[in-house]
């Protein structure tokens, strides 16, 4: 897959790393929701916040650090279930990262395939 519309990726790819998928996403951390773009590569999942957010620094997770991928609820203020449209990534250290994404099942399948080393993800 080529870079998202607009040309260059907002983060560098590592040697041998391929971009597999990109799309709109909101990252949920407790009561905080940050809008941006989620990028799946052959080695990482990288979230790049929109420039309007207080923090616009990309953050990434190594696919090898993801223990499980599961559907989850989007929560208002981090507490009240609002919509069943998030995905939760449980990390090997026990932490959980949550993202609201359109096409949640497609994202979950793509992440699972990438974790298995299938670079044909789209």
Give per-residue pLDDT as tens, 87-121: 999 999 999 999 999 999 999 999 999 999 876 65
Residue with tokens 């990309």: 58
DSSP state of 11: S
CATH of 19-115, one of 1.10.10.60, 2.30.29.30, 3.40.50.1820, 3.20.20.370: 2.30.29.30
Q: Is the separation of the CB atoms in 108 and 32 below 8 Å?
A: no
The pTM (predicted TM-score) of the whole model is 0.83
Cβ atoms of 1 and 21 within 8 Å: the answer is yes
Q: Cβ neighbours of residue 10 under 8 Å, at least 6 residues apart?
A: 37, 48, 58
Note the pLDDT tens digit of each residue in 6-16. Answer: 457 878 888 99
């Amino acid at each position: 897959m080529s870079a998202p519309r607009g040309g260059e990726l907002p983060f560098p790819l590592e040697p041998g790393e391929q971009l597999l998928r990109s799309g709109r996403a909101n990252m949920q951390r407790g009561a905080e929701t940050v809008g941006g773009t989620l990028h799946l590569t052959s080695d990482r999942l990288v979230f790049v916040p929109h420039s309007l957010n207080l923090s616009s620094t990309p953050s990434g997770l190594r696919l090898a650090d993801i223990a499980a991928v599961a559907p989850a609820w989007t929560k208002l203020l981090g507490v009240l279930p609002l919509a069943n449209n998030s995905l939760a990534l449980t990390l090997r250290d026990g932490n959980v990262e949550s993202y609201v994404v359109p096409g949640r099942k497609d994202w979950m399948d793509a992440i699972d395939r990438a974790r298995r080393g299938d670079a044909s993800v789209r």
